[in-house]
Homo-oligomer: A and B are copies of this chain.
Amino acid sequence: MNHRTEVSSLGEFGLIEHLTKNIEIHNASTILGVGDDAAVIDHFGKQTLISTDLLIEGIHFDLTYTPLKHLGYKAVMVNLSDIYAMNGTPTQITISLGISNRFSVEALTELYEGIYIACNKHGVDLVGGDTSSSGKGLIISVTAIGEVAPDKFVKRNTAEAGNLICVSGDCGGAFLGLTLMEREKKIFLENNAIQPNLENESYIVGRLLKPEARKEVIDFLQEAGITPTAMMDVSDGISSEVLHLCNQSGVGCRVYEDKIPISEDSRKAAYKFGLDPTICALNGGEDYELIFTIRQEDHDKIVLNEEISVIGYMTTLEEGCKLISRGGNDYPLTAQGWNAFQTR
C-alpha cells in the first residue's frame, strides 16, 4: 500500500460504493442487493427482506444517559424500521453482542428485556445471534428479516418527477433530545451535585431513547391502496434522505420549509437551545420516521391522515434540489446530516 486514502474523505456512502461496486450476483434468488434499506431475496411466493445494523458504544449510544432496556428496544426498532421502509413486515431478528467485563448478567438481562418488548410489540421472533467479549464497551449487531408480497418492495431509486414527498410523524425531536442529554451530561460532569433537569422534556427524550418503527404507516398505505413510488426511513434527517431519494432516482425536488412536520414540544425545545427547529428537522438524525413519494393521484387518499405530511414534490434532475423558505425564497437543499465517520 503506497497511498493512504482517509475513510472520512469518502464518507459512509462513498466507502460502501467503493467497496461494493464490483459485486457480481450468483443466485437467482438475490433480487436486490447492497444499497437500499434492506436486501430482497426470492423465496417462492414471498420475498425475504434482510437488513443489518451495527451499534457501537461511544459512537451510536452513550450509556451515561441511555438505560440498557431502552437501548435494547431501540436496537431492534431501528432494524425493524428498515424492513418497514421496504414496505415489508419484519418476522425475525438475530442479535450479536460484544460485551466488556463491565457488563453483568443483570445488565444484559435488562438489555434483553427491551429487545423482547420490541419483538413482542411487532410480532418478531429472535432466532439467533452470537455473544462474545469485547475489549472495551458494548457492541450490538442486529439483523432483521422480513417478508413482502412478490415485487411489492419499495426501493429508493424509483421516485419520479411530479411525485409528492411525504413524511410520517414529525422530525427533529430525537436530535433535540440528544442535544438536551448531552447538555445535561456536561453539566453533571462539571458538578455532579446538579441532577439532570428533564422536566417537560419527555417528548424529545422519548424520541431519542425510545423510537418507534412506523408499522402503522405501512398498514395505512396498504389499506388505502397506495404503493409508494420510493421510500426509506429517516435516520439521518429529512435533507439527507430527500437527497438520497433524488440522487438514486435521478430527479430534483422542491421541499417547503413551512410543510416540514415539527412537534410543538420540539419547537419549544429548539428555541430554548437557541436552535432553528427547521434545521433540527432537516439535519438532525434518528427520528426513524418514514419518508416516501407517491403519485399525485394518491393525494386525496392521504390528505385526511394527520400522521402524514406532504412536504414538497419531486422535479426533474435539471431543476435541482431546492428548499423553499417561508419567505418564498429558493435555497439549495444540503445535507449536514449525521455522519457516522465524524465524531459526534
Q: How many copies does the complex hold?
A: 2
Do the beta carbons of A30 and B92 come within 8 Å of each other? yes
Do the beta carbons of B56 and A135 come within 8 Å of each other? yes
Q: Which residues of B contact A198 (CB under 8 A)?
A: none
* Of listed A56, A147, A343, residue having the most chain B CB within 10 A: A56
Assembled-state Cα–Cα distance A6/B99 (Å):
12
Q: What count of chain A residues pass the 8 Å CB interface test?
A: 88
Do the beta carbons of A98 and B135 come within 8 Å of each other? no
Interface string of A152-171 (1 = CB under 8 A from B): 00000000000000000000
Query: Which chain B residue has the least Cβ–Cβ distance from A60?
Result: B132
User: What are 7 contact pairs spanning A and B, CB under 8 A?
Assistant: A1-B104, A5-B105, A7-B105, A7-B108, A8-B101, A20-B126, A54-B97
Do the beta carbons of B106 and A141 come within 8 Å of each other? no
Q: Which residues of B contact A266 (CB under 8 A)?
A: none
A94 CB within 8 Å of chain B: yes
Do the beta carbons of A56 and B132 come within 8 Å of each other? yes
Do the beta carbons of A52 and B129 come within 8 Å of each other? yes
- The one of B43, B56, B125 in contact with A26, judged by C-beta atoms closer than 8 angstroms, is B125
Do the beta carbons of A130 and B52 come within 8 Å of each other? yes
